[in-house]
Structure 1
Amino acid sequence: MDLILWRHAEAEDGADDMARELTSKGRKQAVAVGGWLDARLTKEARVMVSPAARAQQTAAGLGRRFETVEAIQPGADPADLMHAVGWPESSGTVVVVGHQPTLGLVAAMLLFGELRGFTLKKGGLVWLTNRTRRGDQKVVLKAALIPELV
């Protein structure tokens, strides 16, 4: 399974956290990273997105159909997110568009085997895969990207 954890792009401040929208810079970040990602994804890749407006707008930068998943909303529990995406049993590729600190905690858990502070920059992503070698399951970092590198 390939798992891509993509943090929403830069968003406006606001009292209603779920309604916060992307800034002009954030919209550019979403399109740039979305274009990079779209060129590398299979047509069958599944895209799961937080219900927050900024995550929905970030996912729109990918230009593909996506599903809104409550388990990815701000403040989501990392275990609930991993269960929702089916890590590691699922096959294919899943793109998750969500929030800090949840995405960073999931990345740290998979890469380091423990929940610890790990920050994804706004609009950035990590692409992980799992494989089994000699009966030992491993997590492999395939890519890490921030909008400024696209």
Structure 2
Amino acid sequence: MANLIIWRHAEAEIQSESGHDHDRALTKRGRKDAAKMAKWLYKHLPEHAELLCSPARRCLQTAHALHDLNQVEIKIAECLSIDSNVARMMQEVENQDDAQTIVLVGHQPNLGLLIGKLLGLHQSACVVKKGAIWWLKQRKLDGLSHYYIEAVKQPGV
């Protein structure tokens, strides 16, 4: 894949009415931040991007901000769920087309752990703030994938 865009869900309510973490919705600020980040992505996103999203409500609401701008299809990816792990996420990333742009919408700490692993960092995880986007580029050298940071964008900046 040429581009891997990692987008943490925007700010969500502390607790849902159901009491389930999976059902937490975006706050008013979260909806505003998701829309802001979606506009930035829309301006820079290559054509034919694939949008993979955690099934959690807050992630779906974040992804819908981009969908509303360019009608990109949102695909639910269990590997991005709250209960998933980095190994499952890595497997999904490795199974994608090398020329494809993939947008992953998910949760901390797994997104930060994925970034750290892809960049070969020695620390366990990168801090991915709520609503932030990390854009990684992939380069193949001697048949091996190497990632580098193209951009990091946060809602408040």
Q: TM-score, normalised by structure 1?
A: 0.91
Which residues in structure 2 correspond to 1:27-66 (within 5 Å)?
Answer: 27-63=31-67, 64-66=72-74
- The separation in 2 between residues aligned to 1:102 and 1:36, in whole angstroms, is 23
**Deviation sequence 1:112-150 (CA, Å, 0-9, x none):** 34560321000001111111346664211101010012x
Deviates more, 1:129-138 or 1:1-10: 129-138
Contact 2:114 2:125 in 1 (8 A): no
The answer as to 2:96 corresponding to 1:95 is no
Note the aligned Cα RMSD (angstroms).
1.9
Distance 1:59 1:119 in 2: 20
Pairwise CA distance, 1:86: 2.8
Tell me how far 1:24 sits from its aligned partner: 0.2
Taking only the aligned residue pairs, the percentage that are identical comes to 37
Query: What is the rounded CA distance, in whole Å, between the counterparts of 1:73 and 1:88 in structure 2?
Result: 18
Change beyond 3 A, Cα 1:119–1:134 = same
Residue aligning to 1:5: 6
Change (3 A) 1:87 1:144: farther
The alignment covers a number of residue pairs equal to: 149
Runs of 5+ in structure 2 lacking a partner?
Answer: none
Assess if the C-alpha contact under 8 Å between 2:6 and 2:133 holds in 1.
yes
- Letter aligned with residue 28 of structure 2: S
Moved over 4 A (4+): 133-137
When residues 38 and 110 of structure 1 are mapped into structure 2, their CA distance, relative to the original with a 3 A threshold, is same
Q: Contact 1:75 / 1:102 at 8 angstroms: preserved in 2?
A: no
| Residue 142 (structure 1) aligned with residue 150 (structure 2) | yes
Deviations 1:21-41 (Å, cap 9, x if unpaired)?
A: 000000001000011001111
1:111 to 115, 119, 122: 119
Q: Structure 1 residues 75 and 134 mapped into 2: Cα distance closer, same or farther (>3 Å)?
A: same
Alignment of 1:26 onto 2:30: yes
Provide the rounded CA distance (Å) in 2 between the counterparts of 1:136 and 1:7: 27
- Structure 1 residues 103 and 117: alpha-carbon distance in aligned structure 2, compared to 1, 3 A threshold: same
Q: What amino acid is aligned across from residue 50 of structure 1 in structure 2?
A: S
Deviation of the 1:88 alpha carbon: 7.1
| Displacement after TM superposition at 1:91 (Å) | 2.1
**TM-score normalised according to structure 2 size:** 0.87
Structure 2 residue matching 1:13: 3-state secondary structure: coil
